[in-house]
Amino acid sequence: MERVPAPRWRRNRNFDFAAKRRREIVLHARYVGAAQTDDFDRWLIAWVWHCKAKDQVWSVMECAKNMGRKITEAEASAIIKEASITRKHLSADNLAQFLGVTYAQRQALRLTTIGSVNVKKRARKELRKRRDRMAKKRKRRASGALSRAEYEANSTAAKARAEGVSRMTIYRRKRAAEQSKNRPDVTGVSAAIFLSSEDGPVTPAGVEGTSERGFASKKGRGLPSSQTATITAFDVHATLPTELRLLALGLVETDWTKNLSRAA
Q: Is the pLDDT of residue 96 over 60?
A: yes
pLDDT tens by residue, 239-251 = 667 766 666 666 5
CB–CB of 46/92 below 8 Å? no
Q: What is the pLDDT at residue 170? A: 85
Domain residue extents for the chain: 17-121, 146-182
Q: Is the pLDDT of residue 10 over 90?
A: no
Q: What is the pLDDT at residue 20? A: 93
Cα distances (Å, whole numbers) of residue 224 to 118, 216, 219: 112, 13, 6
Q: What is the pLDDT at residue 141? A: 87
- In this prediction, residues 202-214 reach a mean pLDDT of 50
Instruction: Give 51's contacts (C-beta < 8 A, 6+ positions apart).
Output: 18, 22, 59, 60, 63
pLDDT tens by residue, 175-190 = 888 888 777 655 555 5
pLDDT tens by residue, 143-173 = 888 888 888 888 888 888 888 888 899 889 8
Q: What is the pLDDT at residue 22? A: 94
| Alpha carbon distance, N-terminus to C-terminus of the chain | 94
- In this prediction, residues 57-62 reach a mean pLDDT of 93
44-48, 216-220, 244-248: least confident range: 216-220
Question: What is the distance between the alpha carbons of residues 79 and 84, in angstroms, rounded to a whole number?
Answer: 9
Burial tier of 92 (Cβ tally within 10 Å: 0-12, 13-18, 19+): buried
Instruction: Give 115's contacts (C-beta < 8 A, 6+ positions apart).
Output: 91, 92, 93, 94, 95, 96, 101, 106, 121, 124
Q: Is the pLDDT of residue 102 over 90?
A: yes
54-58, 101-105, 194-198: least confident range: 194-198
Coil, strand or helix at 48: helix
Task: Tell me the whole-structure pTM to 2 decimals.
Answer: 0.55
How high does pLDDT run on average in the chain?
Answer: 79
Q: Is the pLDDT of residue 202 over 90?
A: no
- In this prediction, residues 218-230 reach a mean pLDDT of 56
